[in-house]
Amino acid sequence: AQTVTQSQPEMSVQEAETVTLSCTYDTSENNYYLFWYKQPPSRQMILVIRQEAYKQQNATENRFSVNFQKAAKSFSLKISDSQLGDTAMYFCAFMNQNRDDKIIFGKGTRLHILP
């Protein structure tokens, strides 16, 4: 069974700093997707970034980028020039490409951006 592990329950950084959130996963599959979701206090689940496992190039979305290490089964999220609005829970997630559409979530990292 696939599992997703986020080892940092909570983090705090100063505004404008760079922060990296860790995520590791376990799977025997070769084709899959990885995601980072943001959940602000409004509770809305917002897709931040998505990575296809077959792509070696790390995905990037503006200030958000990932470091995808397939052999190590690691998928960390880097937030550059952090802003107060980045304060939220961040969930790492995994989905098989070829089977069902279940997304498996980690337990989350609560990120505080301090003014």
Partner 1 sequence: NAGVMQNPRHLVRRRGQEARLRCSPMKGHSHVYWYRQLPEEGLKFMVYLQKENIIDESGMPKERFSAEFPKEGPSILRIQQVVRGDSAAYFCASSRSANEKLFFGSGTQLSVL
Using CB under 8 A as the binding rule, whether residue 42 contacts partner 1 is answered as yes
Interface with partner 1 in residues 51-90 (CB under 8 A) = none
Query: Looking at beta carbons only, is 42 or 57 nearer to partner 1?
Result: 42
Q: Which two tokens stand for residue 45?
A: 């689940």
Query: Looking at beta carbons only, is 68 or 91 nearer to partner 1?
Result: 91
What is the rounded CA–CA span in Å between residue 106 and residue 115?
28
Query: Which of 61, 94, 98 has its CA nearest to residue 80?
Result: 61
**Residues in contact with partner 1 by the rule CB under 8 A:** 4, 42-47, 50, 91, 93, 97, 100-108
